[in-house]
Amino acid sequence: MQISVQIAVQTEFDEQPNITEIARFERDGFDAGSLGLHLEEAKALPGRLQRSMIEAQAAEAIARMSVCLECGSRLTDKGHHRLADRSVFGRLSIESPRLYQCRCSGSGRKSVCPLAACLRERTSRRLSRW
């Protein structure tokens, strides 16, 4: 028997949910050694779920922030880098675009990194609670 653990992510931009398999288990028979999750499988599952959730959230945020709020134009891609963030499941690296600001803003060729800005805001909010 094959058992697949999948997450279904549906953003405001998708017509259909995006299904991602985060784990697959194979079991034969019905005995004490094959019932349910093994300890190593159970330990790995939350980290895979965390990675898939964050990747989906980052993809949605990038899609939303890649469009000028003023005129609706698609922002031009200047390049990519990786952001690292810590969670209770360990370090995570996220592919993050750098985007040129829209010409309608009159800011010349300045660029922004929307995901980095969001994570800085989150960190600032956390710190302000202390």
The contact set with Zn ion (CB under 5 A) reads: 68, 70-71, 73, 102, 104
**Spatial distance between the Cα atoms of 108 and 125, rounded to a whole number of angstroms:** 30
Contacts (Cβ under 8 Å, ≥6 apart) of 14: none
49 versus 68: smaller Cβ distance to Zn ion: 68
Question: 128 φ, ψ to 5°?
Answer: -70, -15
Task: State the minimum distance, in angstroms, from the CB of residue 90 to Zn ion.
Answer: 38
**Spatial distance between the Cα atoms of 109 and 79, rounded to a whole number of angstroms:** 13
E strands of 10-87, at which residues? 18-26, 77-87
8 versus 71: smaller Cβ distance to Zn ion: 71
Task: State the minimum distance, in angstroms, from the CB of residue 109 to Zn ion.
Answer: 14
29 versus 106: smaller Cβ distance to Zn ion: 106
Task: State the minimum distance, in angstroms, from the CB of residue 100 to Zn ion.
Answer: 11
Task: State the minimum distance, in angstroms, from the CB of residue 117 to Zn ion.
Answer: 17
